[in-house]
Amino acid sequence: MDWNDLRVFLAVARQGSALGAAVELAVNQTTVGRRLDALERALGLKLIERSQSGSRLTAAGEKLLPKAEKIEAEFAALSQQVSAFQRDLSGTLRLTLSDLSANMLMPALAEFRALYPEITVELIITDRFLDIAAGEADIAMRGTDRLEDSDLVARKLAQFEFAICCSRAYAARHGVPTAPEDLKDHILVGGEQEVANLPIVKWMFEQAPDAEVRCRSNSLGNMIMAVRNGLGVGPAPLLMMLEHPELVLCMTPEPPMMGGSWLVTRQDVKNTPRVRAFIDFFVPYFEGEMRKATEAYEASQRSA
């Protein structure tokens, strides 16, 4: 059955004629007759007797009318819920993340915008962990090896290994440090504020506390950009070696220094339509991108 055919049956039953049904539904009488014929063919039953004086329900039509009215009521309730949901799929969604993650996220945001044009994603770009519980943002994408215990809801997106690297231009001028003890003889790119406390940054300076530092940043993405531009030796996710061929792998710490990406939100907002829509879209997108990057890196290592 087609719901539009059933609507015609209900309109004819209420109005007592094809003309009345056509007026109610804002269609012509031919459409009313065609849809009613289609419904009767689909059911294999005669529902309405039509004559010059009007239309009346057959015995089958009388019996099916209450069921059709119940379907109409359920459909109206469904339509109201959909409308309410669509109204909630609007407004502003505040997302906090690092500049490194924000740059990676831009293609995904373009796709999300096409799917949900009424939702505005407001990016709060910082390496500082904003207080999600206090409402400083709706969702956070956090780069850390592990999260502190809290009442927040978190989804781990990926885990990756950090490396120490430099640029090809730097390597041409100063050589490549290949062991932790070599770092003391090289120029390092330093971190500030929260970035200085990242495990990989702390490890690097533990190996060479007195090394020369000509550039510091409170942004991991900016630190990596400084390394890519030859300002010194510094940390980067191992997967970035493939994405940025100007980077040269110097060393990986032992044991491996791992990082992770997490999506974090509050329990009370996680199922609101715009937050749920973002999570349901972004999680498989990010996991797919990480999977492709990992497969490409592993293939490059096999062919090296």
Residue 188 tokens read as: 């390092």
Residue with structure tokens 């904003």?
130
Per-residue pLDDT, 292: 80
- pLDDT digits over 192-223, tens only? 888 898 889 999 999 999 999 989 998 888 99
How far apart, in whole angstroms, are the C-alpha atoms of residue 206 and residue 153?
34
Range from 43-47, 123-127, 190-194, 230-234 that averages highest in pLDDT: 230-234
Residue 269 tokens read as: 């907002």
Q: Is the pTM of this model over 0.75?
A: no
Check pLDDT > 80 for residue 157.
Answer: yes
How far apart, in whole angstroms, are the C-alpha atoms of residue 94 and residue 122?
5
Is residue 217 within 8 A of residue 191, CB to CB? The reply is yes
pLDDT band at 58 (very low <50, low <70, confident <90, very high): very high
Per-residue pLDDT, 81: 67
Strand blocks (E) in the chain: 48-51, 54-57, 91-97, 119-125, 139-143, 153-167, 187-191, 212-217, 234-237, 247-251, 258-265
Is residue 253 within 8 A of residue 164, CB to CB? The reply is yes
Check pLDDT > 80 for residue 156.
Answer: yes
* Amino acid of residue 165: C
SS3 244: coil
Per-residue pLDDT, 245: 86
- pLDDT digits over 117-143, tens only? 888 899 998 878 888 888 889 999 887
Closest by CA position to 167, among listed 233, 251, 238: 233
Bigger pLDDT: 143 or 274? 274
Between 4-13, 73-82, 106-115, 162-171, the lowest mean confidence (pLDDT) is in 73-82
Residue with structure tokens 């015609």?
8
Residue 118 tokens read as: 């009424």
